[in-house]
Each structure stands twice: as structure tokens, then as C-alpha cells.
A and B are shown apart, each in its own frame.
Chain A
Amino acid sequence: MASNDLLKGMLKPIILKLLFENKRMYGYEITQMVKEISEGEIELTFGALYPILHKLELEGIVKTESEIINNRNRIYYSITQKGNSKAKEKIAEFEDMLKTLKIFFKPNFGLKYVFG
């Protein structure tokens, strides 16, 4: 399982990517989907999730709508029009970063670099 230190900074793009693809999601659904896709490797606790969602909402990247489901209020998050480009930007930035990281962690990359 990925450690918390490693996850810091990655959660925002992960959440954005999920919202981008699924259009509308609620908190529990996001945590479950992260768990499912990562096959349990990434555990997104609700303690980490909601502060990020609220921050995104404040920045205008996502918007919320409330619906009564099973006798209780459920808050759905979706990406706003304004946030669309920003979300794309963030996701792209993260994908670039991942590519760079992949090069970095190629087997024996360090040795090749030293010995030509």
C-alpha cells in the first residue's frame, strides 16, 4: 500500500481525474473507486478526501448539489465549466510528471547515466 508521504500531492489529481471521467460523484463513491482501481494500493480516507473536495469547491473547480437518497442528504460533486480547463491542466501536468518519474525509475537508469 502506498505510504501517506507518497500520496500527498497526488490525491488532488486523482480526485479530479475521477470526477472528470464520471461527471458526478459523492464522497464515499470516490473513496471506493480509488480503492477499486488501485486494487487496494491507495487508500483514500475520508479524513483526507473532504478537505480537498471543499478546497476545490472554494476554488470554483467543482460544484456541489444536494439530493435526498435513502432518507439522507447526499452531496454530489461535479466539475464546473470554469474548472474544466483547470482540471485538464492539472491532470495533464500530473501525467507529464508521471512520464518523467517513469524515466527516472527505469531499471539501472542511474548506472547507464554514469557509465554511458
Chain B
Amino acid sequence: MCLDSKQIKLIESDVESARITLNHLANELVDHICCEVENMMNEGEKFEEAYRIIKEQTGIKVLQKIQENTLYLIDKKYALMKTTMKITGNVSLAVIAIGTVMKIYRFPGWPITLMIGFALLCFVFFPAALYLNYSYKTEKKKPLLHLSILIGGILFMIGVLFKVMHWPGSLLFLFYGWSIILLLFLPMLLIAKLKEVKTAKEKLIYVLGMISLIIFEFATMAKMFHWPGAGFFMLIGSVLLIGTFLPLFTAMKIKQNQINTGQFIFIITISMFTVILTMLLSFNVSQPVLECFTNEDINNSKILKYYEAKHNQELTVAKLNSDTTKTSAQQIAIIESADKLTKIILELKLNLVQEVEQVDKNTAVKLIADPQLIERKDNYDRVNMYLRWPEENKILAPLKEELNNFKKLSIETTSVDPDLSKTIESLFDTSDKKQNEENITWEEANFRNTLLIGTLARLSDIEKNVRIVESLIIK
């Protein structure tokens, strides 16, 4: 008994979905399956039943495995690439995981570990995987599709590394990498996918999936760049992705017999983790921490206001009595130094807020007066950028210098009160410290990788201490 052309077409389309590209292998597999089915039909089975039984033994995975085994045997380059991909994929992930744990526990050597992991991932695994995918592609090759994910992916991964290492420029890499993936790669992938699927329902499912993925990825990007509305879009994207696309997609795949129980469990578990992590990310986890800093800054400002009012009073009195013995020249110098410090700190705060919030000076003044209104309280990238880490920090130099001057003047005046001198010494200690056998400067200890709101609170704290000491001395 011979199969008719309709039956052969069905078998051909099933083999086609396994993406068998090797020269005449697809023809052979179709012929082989046809022969098997015909053999069973000769023994009395109907076509549908015979093909169902044969299909169980020759599913897509089996056919793909045959192609893979053939490639392994005939193409040394393929075998080498595949082995490289497998080894570097596993090794780079393990190295990155170890590097992350080392970073968390501050073990020495974490930067080099992370860098090796990322380098392997970016420059060996990723290109090897893409090369394999590209060179042994079934249908027409799509160089732009592969090129876009190669460049976008590498830029993105470098961005992640820079971000983790707190190197400047991380946002730039992330921005370009993400943009290429979102605006070039994903739409092109959708178009390619739509050409492959046949029914309108399948097309709809893929369009829905891609749109939700783009929304979700865009929201994640927005979150990282502290754009407004990120949390909202992230929720919408994940609900669409996990709540709508995923059930439809898995139902479709199960119906087409292209998914087994193991894969189903895997998909569900991964989705569950994604949902939970996304929810954690979309709701600001550091909110209580931010509030704590904000309150500290507000409280400092309140104390400062009291002392500033007092200071103005004292200044007037001091100026009046400048020719008498009551106010010495030293005290005047302290008052002047404190004023200078206030000016420096205000200038720093204004510049920081302008830089991070991207606002004009007037708005910055308002935001400093009411830090609750600050949007990007948790930003530290731009703070770092403004303070020009990791170069030698010049922006903070005037503050440190004036603080030392103030300390020197204050200690000279309070030499009769050793306790007060000691307190002043420790309050305004700007010397380097040892931390985990590393030398940490005062600037690093106080301002490096600190959130905007934390930096503002720290500056207010310094100002407050200056005013308190000033007040004590003038008295």
C-alpha cells in the first residue's frame, strides 16, 4: 500500500517543523517514516493510527537528535563549537555565581572572578551559540536578526557587568543594548516567527507574546533608568506575559504534541520565579530605607534651622562686640568657616539634585527644602557620576579642606575642654580608614555608591554638627 500525496504532505510538514536542514536528510527522514507507516498499513492498520504510533517513536526531538548526531560525525567545526558552547556556558554561569557570592561577602578577588565570568559569557559562549544557530539554520539565513542579538546582547551584558562593578558608563551600555534588543531584535524575531506559523490563532498568540515581552522588557529598562511609571508597566507586562500569553502558548503546544510533562513543569516553575521576582522589583523594596534617610535629612534640617537662627543672632552680637574681649578673632574665624561650609554644602546639594533629577536650580532649591518630593531618591549612579568616581575626587576636596580648617580652629579654641576637643576631633575626622585591609578615604567611606537621599542626609548631618560645635564655642 502506498501513501497518497496528502498523507505524504502531512508527514513532510511534521518533519519540516523539526527544522532539518542538512542536505538530503529531511528527504530521507520523510521517506523512512513513510515506509514505516506503509509497512504498518500493510499489516492492517489505518493511516492515522499507524502514523500516530510511528510519530511517538519519531517525534521532533528524535529527528533533531539525528541531525545533531550527523553534524557531530561529519562536521568537526560543529562538534568543536558545540563543545565550546556547552563548556563555556556552564563555566561562565558558575564563575558569575561564585563571583556574586564573593562580592556579597566581600571576599578579595571578586572583581576578577566576575570579569572572567562575564568575559566568557560575552565573548565565547554567546558568539559560539549564535554562530551555531546561524550557520546551521534551516530556512533563509537572517544575518540582521543574528547580528542585532549579538551586538545588543553583548552590550547589555557589558552594561550589567559595569553596573555590578559600579564603573561609569554602565547606563550607556545598558541603554544601547536594551534598545537594540527591544526595537530591532524582538520585532524582527516576531516577523520571522509569523512567517513560520500557519493559523491565525497561532499568529495572534505570538503577537500577544511579543507585545507583552516588549512591554515587560521596556518596563524593566524604565525601572533601571528610574523613569516614571516603570512599576505600572512592569505589572501590565508580566500579567500579559504570564497570565495571558503563557497559558495560551502552552495549551497550543500541548495540543500540537510538542511539549512533554517535564517541559511543562519547567515552564511553570520558571514563570513562577519570574512573577515573584518581578513583583519584588516593581514594588520598591528599598522604600523603608529611603524613608529612613528622608526623615533623617528632614530632622537634620529642623535642627539646622534652629541653629541657623541662633547663629544669626550670635553673629550680630559677635559683630557688635568684635572690639571687646568677649568675641575673639578666633571665634570670628570659626563663624566664617562654618558659613563657608554651609555654602559649600548647599552648593553640593544643589548640584547633586540638579544632576540626578535633571531639574533647574529653582526646582532643586525646592526639592532640598522638601526631600519627600525627590523622585530618584535611590539613585546612586548619577551621584557617583557627579562626584566623578572612581577618579580622584576633586568635587569633595573643598568640603574636606574646609572641614579640616573648621576642626583645627575649633580644637584650638576648646583646648581648655579636652572632652569637647576629643568629640570635635572624632566628629570631623576626615582621615583614611582601614577596611578589610584596604585603605578607604573619607570621601569613599561617606559618599561612594551612596543613594542620593543618603548623600543629602550625610551632608545635612555634617552641616548640623558644624553648627552645633560653632554654637558651643561661641557660647
A positions within 8 Å CB-CB of B: 26-28, 31, 46-47, 50-52, 54-55, 58, 64, 66, 69-75
Contacts and interface: CB of A to CB of B under 8 A. Distances in A.
B72 interface: yes
B142 interface: no
B5 A51 contact: no
12 contacts: A28-B32, A31-B32, A46-B29, A47-B65, A50-B25, A51-B69, A52-B73, A55-B74, A64-B24, A71-B3, A72-B27, A75-B27
Given A71-B5, A71-B8, A72-B8, A51 B70 contact: yes
B35 interface: yes
Contact of A28 (B4, B12, B35): B35
Given A26-B31, A28-B36, A58 B69 contact: no
Contacts of A31: 32
B139 interface: no
Nearest to A74: B31
B24 A27 contact: no
A23 B2 CA distance: 25
Ranked nearest first, the 10 interchain pairs of A and B with the lowest CB-CB distance are A28-B35, A73-B27, A51-B70, A51-B69, A55-B73, A70-B2, A58-B74, A51-B73, A54-B70, A28-B32
Contacts of A73: 24, 27, 30-31
B384 to A, nearest CB: 56
Most buried by B among A27, A52, A72: A72
Contacts of A46: 29, 32, 58, 66
A50 B28 contact: yes
Interface residues of B, number: 27
Contacts of B72: 51
B28 A72 contact: no
A28 B31 contact: yes
A50 B12 CA distance: 18
A54 B73 contact: yes
Contacts of B66: 46-47, 50-51
Provide the main secondary structure of the chain B interface.
helix
Contacts, number: 67
A47 B32 CA distance: 11
A54 B8 contact: no
B62 interface: yes
Nearest to B23: A54
Nearest to B68: A51
Contacts of B36: 28
Contacts of B32: 27-28, 31, 46
A24 to B, nearest CB: 14
A71 B66 CA distance: 24
B38 to A, nearest CB: 8
A70 B30 contact: no
Nearest to A52: B73
Interface in B56-93: 58, 62, 65-66, 69-70, 72-74
A54 B74 contact: yes
Which one of B29, B32, B65 has the greatest number of beta carbons of chain A within 10 Å?
B32
Contacts of B30: 72-73
Nearest to B9: A71
Contact of B34 (A50, A55, A58, A72): A72
Interface in B15-64: 22, 24-25, 27-32, 34-36, 58, 62
Interface centre among B5, B34, B65 (most CB of A within 10 A): B34
A62 to B, nearest CB: 12
Contacts of A64: 24
A54 B74 CA distance: 7
A75 B27 CA distance: 7
Contact of A72 (B22, B31, B70, B73): B31
A66 B24 contact: yes
Contacts of A51: 66, 69-70, 72-74
A5 B27 CA distance: 29
Contacts of B74: 51, 54-55, 58
Contacts of A69: 31
A28 B36 CA distance: 8
A27 B70 contact: no
Contacts of B12: 72
